[in-house]
A and B are shown apart, each in its own frame.
Chain A
Amino acid sequence: MNVQFKKGVLELCVLVLTAKQDRYGYELVASISEKFHISEGTVYPLLRRLTQEGFFTTYLAESQEGPPRKYYQLTNRGRQYMNDLVLEWRIFNRGVNEIIEEGLGYDKA
């Protein structure tokens, strides 16, 4: 899968994963890795950039087990940005699927 394309999708994924609850980095990496292959190390620079752009705020929280964790919380701006990206993705996704179906016919799954 194309690297650049994946980066854009990755951004969408981390934003959506934090929409309902705050998440810590490892959790985000694990959730995404479950679904498709990524270079996990690049998620952290992405989180940093999104934080710098004001889409996330972070805080440290102690946990029952293991080290304290850095949690990422979606800001209002971040939520707005996420909604834009989701909309964009849906239009894009539908378009690509239609092209595939028209190109390969409906008989193939």
Chain B
Amino acid sequence: MTRREFMDELNALLSALPDKERLDILADYTEHFLLGMKQGKTEYEIAEGLGSPKLVARELLAGYRIDQAQSNASVGNMTRAIVATISLGFFNLVFVLGPFLGLVGILMGLYAMTAALLVAPVGIFLDYGIPAPSQERLFLLFSSMVSVGLGGMFAIGLLRLTKWLYRQFLRYLQFNVKMIRGK
């Protein structure tokens, strides 16, 4: 592999990274080639020593994806971080995807319950007809207030829980990458 070929392949593999980051990485390898050539090595020998651009790119991408998911939280970034971590090995398929899907399931259940509490009064009113019989009005009013109040509290708690879990899971991913990297 010539210097050109090595650099082109690495550049293509890192296309997902922001330009600044990508160019910075490429500069490190360019420097490596130039210094190697000063030592009298051929491009071919240097590329041989560096090993496969694929291996290099895989290491770089996994680290980067997790950083990104941390700095701006989103479902898409989290997904990309997970995919990058899983690509580091089959072992991770079990240890990353399993817990993640489990957590998502639990969260969805909790969200469904909260939504049910919030819309329950609608059901209560429909049940009794509008306007409701007068002796039922107070009961209806209070039960609606309790239901909506509980739903609201759950909703606030859940949003916090979701954010917290997001952060924890990223930390787990980081730990995972370190394990896979053999620390």
Residues of A in contact with B (beta carbons under 8 Å apart): 3-8, 11, 24-26, 29, 33, 39-42, 44-49, 52, 65-67, 69-70
Listed from nearest, the 4 A-B pairs whose CB atoms lie closest are A4-B182, A39-B51, A41-B50, A45-B59
Give the distance in Å from the alpha carbon of A70 to the alpha carbon of B31 in the complex. Answer: 8
Report chain B residues within 8 Å CB of A52. Answer: 63, 67
Report chain A residues within 8 Å CB of B32. Answer: 25-26, 29, 40, 44
Report chain A residues within 8 Å CB of B181. Answer: 4, 7-8
One digit per residue, 1 when the CB lies within 8 angstroms of any chain A CB and 0 when it does not, for chain B 39-59 equals 000000000011111011001
**Can you report 5 residue pairs joining A to B where beta carbons are below 8 Å apart?**
A26-B32, A44-B56, A48-B28, A66-B34, A66-B35
Give the distance in Å from the alpha carbon of A45 to the alpha carbon of B59 in the complex. Answer: 6
Residues of A contacting B: mostly: helix
Q: A41-B51, A48-B25, A49-B63 are in contact. Are A26 and B182 (CB under 8 A)?
A: no
**Chain B contacts with A in 44-87, Cβ cutoff 8 A:** 49-53, 55-56, 59-60, 63, 67
Number of residues of chain B lying within 8 A (CB) of chain A: 26
Give the distance in Å from the alpha carbon of A39 to the alpha carbon of B54 in the complex. Answer: 12
Report chain B residues within 8 Å CB of A11. Answer: 183
Closest to B53 in A: A41
Give the distance in Å from the alpha carbon of A39 to the alpha carbon of B51 in the complex. Answer: 5
Q: A25-B28, A42-B59 are in contact. Are A8 and B51 (CB under 8 A)?
A: no
Report chain A residues within 8 Å CB of B52. Answer: 39, 41
Nearest-Cβ distance from residue B95 to partner chain A, whole angstroms:
15
Q: B20 near A: Cβ within 8 Å?
A: no
Are A42's CB and B56's CB within 8 A?
yes
Are A69's CB and B51's CB within 8 A?
no
Q: A3-B182, A7-B183, A8-B183 are in contact. Are A45 and B35 (CB under 8 A)?
A: no
Are A5's CB and B63's CB within 8 A?
no
The one of B31, B36, B60, B180 that contacts A48, using a Cβ cutoff of 8 Å:
B60
Report chain B residues within 8 Å CB of A5. Answer: 182
